Amino acid sequence: MAAPQGQLRVSRYFAALGAIIVALYALVFFTGPGSMTDKLQPKLGLDLQGGMTVTLRANTADGKQPKKDQLEQAREILENRVNGTGVAEFEVVTEDERNIVINVPGKNNDDVKRIGEPAELRFREMLKETPDIGAAPRAVTPTPTATPSGTAKPTATPTAKPSATPSTKASGSGGFAPTPTPTPTPTPSASGTPSPADDSTTSVKTADVLKKIDPQILQLVQQVQSPEQLLDPKLEPLMEVFKKLSRREVAALPVELQYNVPQITCAMLDGRPAGSIAKPDQQVVACEGNNKLMLDKASVLGTDVKSASASLDPQAGGWQVNLKFKSKGQDKWTEMTRKSVGKRVAAVLDNTVVSSPTIQEIMPGDARITGNFGGKEARDLASKLNFGALPLSFEQENVQTISPTLGIESLKAGLLAGGIGLALVVLYSLIYYRALGFITIASLLCSSAIIYAAVILLGREIGFTLTLAGIAGFIVAVGITADSFVVLFERLKDEVKDGRSVRSAVPRAWVRARRTILSADSVSLLAAVVLYVLAIGAVKGFAFTLGLSTVVDVLIVFLFTYPLVALLSRFRTFTSPRFSGLGNMRPDNVPTVPARTARVAPKES
């Protein structure tokens, strides 16, 4: 590594780096849309430009990961639904094999927040019905003969009559409207908030829940035929345990228990996790207004519905949702109505009964759902049914709305933090390394230029968005980048201390520093990649920028810092003690020992 060779190589390194930078910026300016200033604008994340992020998590009955194609199908349906709300530039992406993330830039849009509400429609025959005794104060028992609120009749045959008029306060209500209760207001436990008990991710096993219950009570509860039998005040303290069950545990209880135990209120049943009663081949319990309904297996599903529309019922004046079935679905529907003539069939949406009219006759045509809903609810329901029942049920895990003003403030704060961090590092390097500090600054500038271009290009090509966490990643990476120089400079000092001239020390220091830098950067990169692949949420952005910076760091150290140090080491001014501080490293009582004359032995660091 003699000097003349080095000279040649240095220019080659710089040329390579220059070519990379020129190529990057050529791509920045000559590809992509918009004016020059637009092209220099990195794609900002929602937390920096304002917008909304909704994270939905797929729920599966067994707690396992959903199938890939199901998740993808759900994503497409959700995309259609968001599209239906008329917002622009949104994106719906899957994350982590289980989550679907909806990003909508700009202003708050409350409609989008509802998008993930599942619409699993099931038609189930009603087997029996009981009032929700537990929710109401003991003395008051709601009208035992609750009347169904809606009708289902073939639009084609006007002869079909509603089994009950959708009037009277005692009747139930539509699936979405707040429940008008016939009895005194329910206790706080009925307010719809799920019980505070644990809400862990793992699915709850029925056996585990039953273990929580006193065996004697359990036996008693399992034997009774109707909830009235459990109304003994003496039993009450023993039954308290049911009130403490979490919503998942409630869902895991056997249906007979859900139905018979008065302490399991409608509020608790409604609060079961989404999709708890979606399985068509099981009997389920669901509430309509203040009545618990025991329902048979589902024979007609939401997927059998071809299209749904909301319209005003010309006769009753209320809103209704009209359903058209697919051909197979129509067969199922006809078959079901044939079997259930004279019985009630409940339209169950998710965890609640929308309406449960009595079937008057076989219906070979379309159906409609009426209930106590207004125009908006009817349209919502229709749209949910239209865009397809999701193949999976989702729970809204995280909804975040960032106002555009806060976004800009965050961006400014992030840039300020970066500026302060960079300034501190620069200051420190100048104090500590003197002239070598300038090399640090030049290297940092160089790497910033590359990273900036990379961020713009990645934003265009793979949709990478710069988030606040991402900015934090870059700032943190300043440390990593600067550290590579520290390693090189410290090695250089070691070599000079051994009596070498700065010039001859550079190649030797480089060989050793290179190894260290590569090892250390590999570890950093490994951490970033693992985080990026496995973590969820905002951190992906952090991991990405950290990784990107690490890669750029290697590039810069190889193509810029080292050649620059090599180049500068040829100038006497640079190597003087006062300027670079390296001269200080020479042995005290040996002013200058020519490096060549030193023997090879002290081959240290």
Partner 1 sequence: MGLVRRLYRGDTKIDFIGSRKRWYIASGVITIACLALIIFKSFNFGIEFSGGNSFTFTKPPGATLEQAERVVQDAGAEVQTAQQVGGGGQTKFVLKTAALNIDETVKVKEALSKELKVDVNDVTDSAVSSSWGGHVTKQALIALAAFLVLVSIYIWIRFEQKMAISAILALLHDLVLTAGVYSLIGFEVTPSTVIGLLTILGFSLYDTVVVFDKVEENTRGILGGTRTDYAEAANLAVNQTLMRSINTSLISLLPVGGLLFVGAGLLGVGTLKDLALVLFVGLAAGAYSSLFLATPWLVDLKEREPRYVALKQRVLAKRAAVAKTGAVESAESLADAVAEPEVATAGAGAGRGGASRPPQRRRPAGKTGRPSGSKRKR
Least distance in angstroms from the C-beta of 536 to partner 1: 5
314, 155 in Cβ contact below 8 A? Answer: no
Q: In the complex, what is the shortest distance from the CB of residue 458 to partner 1, in angstroms, rounded to a whole number? A: 20
Q: What is the DSSP string of 433-497?
A: HTHHHHHHHHHHHHHHHHHHHHHHHHHHHT---B-HHHHHHHHHHHHHHHHHHHHHHHHHHHHHH
Burial class, 247, CB count within 10 angstroms (exposed 0-12 / middle 13-18 / buried 19+):
buried
- Name the minimum Å distance from CB 140 to partner 1: 25
The C-alpha atoms of residue 311 and residue 463 are separated, in whole angstroms, by: 41
The CA radius of gyration of the chain, in Å to the nearest whole number, is 35
Closer to partner 1 by CB, 269 or 425: give it.
Answer: 425
Give the shortest CB-477-to-partner 1 separation in angstroms: 8
Residue closer to partner 1 (CB basis): 298 or 469:
469
Q: Which is nearer to partner 1, 151 or 383 (CB)?
A: 383
Which one-letter DSSP state was computed for residue 585? Answer: G
Measured between its terminal Cα atoms, the distance across the chain in Å is: 18
| Residue 119 Cβ vs partner 1, minimum distance, rounded to whole Å | 15
Question: Please, which residue, 156 or 511, has the CB nearer to partner 1?
Answer: 511
C-beta of 84 vs 144, nearer to partner 1: 84
Nearer to partner 1, 299 or 575 (CB): 575
- Closest among 258, 237, 259, 260 to 249, alpha carbons compared: 258
Find residue 44's DSSP bridge partners.
Answer: 466
| 341 or 413: CB nearest partner 1 | 413
Measure Cα distances from 561 to 171, 307, 447, 557 in Å: 79, 65, 10, 5
To partner 1, the closest distance from the beta carbon of 352 in angstroms equals 14
Residue recorded with tokens 């018979």: 260
Cβ of 138: how many Cβ atoms within 10 Å? 11
Shortest approach of partner 1 to residue 398 CB, angstroms? 5
Residue 405 beta carbon to partner 1: minimum distance, rounded to whole angstroms: 5
Can you tell me the distance from the alpha carbon of 489 to that of 91, in angstroms, rounded to the nearest whole number? 47
Q: Minimum CB separation from partner 1 for residue 423, in Å?
A: 8
Contacts of residue 87, Cβ cutoff 8 Å, sequence gap at least 6:
104, 106, 109, 112
At 429, the amino acid letter reads S
Smallest distance from partner 1 to CB 246, Å: 10
CA distance 534 to 509: 37
Tokens coding 114: 């509802």
What DSSP assignment string belongs to 112-158? Answer: HHTTT----EEEEEEEEEEE-TTTS-TT----SSPPP------TT-T
Residue 583 CB, nearest distance to partner 1 (Å)?
12
C-beta closer to partner 1: residue 221 or 251:
251
Residues with Cβ within 8 Å of 563's Cβ and at least 6 positions away in sequence, in order, are 9, 10, 13, 14
Could you tell me the two tokens for 341? 């003539």
Q: Are 119 and 134 in contact (CB under 8 A)?
A: no
DSSP state of 107: S
How near is the Cβ of 468 to partner 1 at its closest, in Å? 5
- 6/194 with CB nearer partner 1: 194
User: What's the CA gap between 387 and 123, in Å, rounded?
Assistant: 18
Residue 348 vs 487, nearer CB to partner 1: 487
What does the CA dihedral 282, 287, 291, 295 come to, rounded to 10 degrees? -20
Nearer to partner 1, 278 or 425 (CB): 425
Alpha helix ranges (H) inside 51-94: 68-84
Return phi, psi of residue 504, to 5°.
-80, -20
DSSP-H helix ranges across 231-349: 236-243, 247-252, 255-260, 266-270, 327-339
Q: What is the nearest approach in angstroms of partner 1 to the Cβ of residue 454?
A: 19
* Residue 190 host element (H or E): none
Q: Which is nearer to partner 1, 218 or 527 (CB)?
A: 527
Pick the closer one to partner 1 by CB: 341 or 518: 518
Q: Which is nearer to partner 1, 277 or 585 (CB)?
A: 585
**Treating both helix axes as pointing N-terminal to C-terminal, what angle do 375-386 and 68-84 enclose, rounded to 10 degrees?**
140
CB of 548 to partner 1, least distance (A): 14
Nearest distance from C-beta of residue 197 to partner 1, angstroms: 10
Pick 224 or 399: Cβ nearer partner 1? 399
